[in-house]
Amino acid sequence: MSQTPEGRVKEAVKKLLKTWGIWFYMPVSNGMGVHGIPDLICCYEGLLIGIETKSPLKNPTTEDQRWKKATPNQQNRITEIRNAGGIALVVDDVVQVEELLNAIKPLADLNRNARSLLGTRRWPETIRRSIGTTMELLSRKRSEPCEMPPDEKRKTLAK
């Protein structure tokens, strides 16, 4: 049985998540639950990730172009996940998910290390040291120029 273009993207994303050892769940859409839940709900070292997959276009797409492919309900759920501190995105190529995972890997590693310390008696001091190191790394990166996230662009343009 042949798959839809969106189905091929979902399969590639699922394969990537399995390769990384990331837990994921695909909610069944039957009209009884909350509308607009992303296609994949993932947990990567304590980080919640929602992934909404879409059919790819012929040319590479921007985040804004992919956002416009999502329904209003999907946009609302993605916004709610982001507002709650999770990560959520619309993708039309598995490469976009791989880029995200590579970008958040240091944070995921920090989460894993912090959780492993919870079983020891010295964890408060070790976590404080780890947080200090992380803050130092973040302050170094902060001095490097970076592009404003699309959500911030929208807020800035709206003013």
| pLDDT recorded at residue 95 | 94
Q: Give the domain range for residue 120.
A: 5-158
Judge if pTM exceeds 0.85.
no
For the domain that residue 55 is a member of, what is the CATH number?
Answer: 3.40.1350.10
pLDDT at residue 56 is higher than 60: yes
Which of 57-61, 67-71, 137-141 is least confident?
137-141
Which of 101-105, 108-112, 133-137, 145-149 is least confident?
145-149
Distance CA 23, CA 6 (A): 21
Q: Which residue has tokens 């609302």? A: 76
Number of folded domains that form the chain: 1
Number of H helices, E strands in the chain: 6, 4
Residue pair 48/87 in contact (Cβ under 8 Å)? The answer is yes
pLDDT at residue 145 is higher than 70: no
Tell which residue, 32, 28, 30, 54, has the closest CA to residue 41. Answer: 28
Please, what is the Cα angle at 71 between 65 and 72, to 5 degrees? 105
